[in-house]
Structure 1
């Protein structure tokens, strides 16, 4: 920066010499757009207060584009463009600021200043004041435009009657108005014949009076052009007297069709307006009567409304008006309330609430269903809900508040009764829940003890049957052999049912509630490895490793039961296709297991689907305890299970693990 400034400073002598003999503005800026040096012409042109003694930031001295409205952006200024390497030539800029309120037009040229290394170290700007030239150009153009517009708009032609030569001459514009060719030669008779039937006797009489009585005229008449178009024209004529009396009559001819039609339309419109004004006046009078009645009806409804209503001055916090309902509830007269502070209406118990509500109203412009207490004249509390809306001025400032209070005495009474009943109900529910829980625990303990007690005699029966099978020749007596086979099957089913009951009971044991941080993805893969699924195609879809807090044995059992069911209940002639998806669902981590198996008729089996010992397909071996166990384990951990299924199409079981 310092070296750059020093380089520019070395140019001072050359600059001073050039600047002193130049009428043009001369400015040098550094690479940051800061003025390094300006001459007196620049100070005058740009409205600077003085020549700067040191580099200072070049200001945006009211530089406009030629529309005199749009400011130059910083990067559009010639100085900044030159600093970017551009040679700016003859850029016209309009400058207007406090020093130059009428504005100055300047023609600016700007070039970058390079050092010996061809690096840009600044820029030089030369500007010429072309304000007077611009004004002359603007004035010439304006006059030219006015002249062209006048010629086009006036449509004025010239005519002359020579009574000595008995000729009639028309200018080109007059011929254009009559829609005849440039070679058309008129005479007095043909000229008069162009007028329409209403105007022909008028122009004949006027021309005769002009010739005989030396009378001038200026009149509006109608003509029919050579092309059959009707036009309105203004005809002005003046006789000229010579030695033989009136020798010539000269005048102008102007097409005023548009003006005449506009005038006729204006007259028509004035008549229509008078008619409409009369109708409007009648409607206003009728509407005024209706509004008066509506106002009376509104005032009646306002005063007789069941809710208390009031208008509040938000600046003074005083009551502007209120309905009779306010007076009836609180025991005041309207005269006692109007112009009084509305805060006096509130009971001391609600002061803090109403102060917070006022702050909310200032921010949001409304108060909704705020519960608080009003104070009656006798000091009693009146429970109410407050709703307030804002009235704003054109600038959006709140100037008034319309408030509505609703008596909720009965509501408070009902709420107290409901609260009492709810407490009673909760106590009863707690008592009943404890009773049910105790019964469930006793039932489960009974089931657990019973199954354990049954295991020993069933084992003894199995041993004796095996001894009988060894001692007796079942091949010689097929009836005995079949009986022994049936007894063994029954024992196996009994043992399976006992084992299922033990599993159900174990869910309630403390050990089943112990949770650890478990990887769902890992458990699913482990189950798939442990199950024999040679006749199944299993796929897993997951976007990451999902971890949950759950009992590891229980989660394994849940996944194993659902995948096993998908394989067990496949269609006999179809390979089982199982799609497993792990995903996030708000407060749950979910696993969905979909298959193409036998499906379930949910209309018939929805209620029994998760019941104990409920089997939906009897041709497949099973205890009917699997889905019951899954639901019990999920319920105990705050989760849930959902199912979607169509018969012969397949099922989707979705498990929701609580996060």
Structure 2
């Protein structure tokens, strides 16, 4: 009967799906399922087997004692075999007979290798995650909406500078943020995430447990179930050093931008395709556009093709040959306005030392160029004035010396002469000489007045009307000499001129044309005027006896220079006209052929 029982038990154990074994009180293996025997690599057991279980659990030194206690317990252990290490979990329980006496132990063994490896993998992943979080200064947090429980990871606690045992509430967590904007912002975002299911990402200031203010980036995302938020997951990243660095960079950029924009220079940076990637305020003002409108454009989109072509060739040469340009004088034409620049272009290198564009700097020297031109004009005028002064001094010296010599000689004659009639004749000659001297002094004084009274006010005058007035005053002279005048000057032409000077100019030039008429033909005088941007050109032409310009060309406007044998010729009118015209900033030229006529061209300067 016992044998039958034994056989039934044996076959029952063999068929069990779980790894199970039976031990006696001495730890001898009585029976085991095939699954249990396979784990330990044992052959099927029979009555003659004396396998001691302690040899199978060598690493568990107190197994015999624990079995002797006749209590249930569980062990985790390893089993090495050629295939590798297997991780096992064995549960020991007392084995009773039908009279409730302990007669041995039952062992149930499970292969937990896959679970152990998964745990090790999870542990490894958690270690990697913790390391990454620590290195990146990023922690996580979780809020259970139902339980109202907030959980922080170690890195989140480290950022808050609290102990690992610290368990925060939501109110305590929000209180960590700086009072004001940051605390209000987090409160609002956290509330919206729970109520309105909105994720958030904010950059705020955190005040740590130790009182240190630090910039952090907080994110949160709700987990929904049946349309309700049940959890909020989020991250907390310490970005304090990054924010400080960005702020420093922004401050430096702002300083650089302010400095570059404040420079009285046009500054720009171009890429390898000569497109502008940076411009300062002066460059924007010159082009009359905003920085956004200029960035990304080339010179071909801003200037005429010829100017842009020259600039591009310079740019490519600087970047290709790494040859900078320093202080080159250039001319820029934009919207018809010409600007003179002193331009420098230097290669622009990236952090690896490779050329990535160029930096251009242009100084507007247009005012300097104007000053140079004004200086040259001033030097020219000064030179002419000096020359005129020298000539005037010679004239004064010559004329006064002539009058003085004439007076001395007549006085000697008067002292030596006893005849009353002769003496009366000499006195008459002295009176005439006195009149001549007064006339000369008057002429010289008039020239001095013209050249010294620079404050004479120019006024806009109708040229045709002034010509008509002068011709009316000369009507007797014109009629007496049979001179005919054709006035072609248009009604709308105006000149900026000193009124007295304009009358004097017209009077002298018309009188000259009458005085030097030809006896072989009727006297004809033609007056024309042309108005242009530069000013007004007045031409007075006659068909008189003309002047030999090859012989007298450099003396036409000299004082007391005459070129014909006329008793009434004094040589002062043209000299006076020239001084009056030049005093107003204008000029006069002459064209003439002997026995064909003469034309005087007067150029009026329209600047007031």
Q: Normalised by the shorter chain, which TM-score bucket? A: 0.3 to 0.5
TM-score w.r.t. length of structure 2: 0.37
Of structures 1 and 2, the larger Rg is shown by 2
TM-score w.r.t. length of structure 1: 0.34
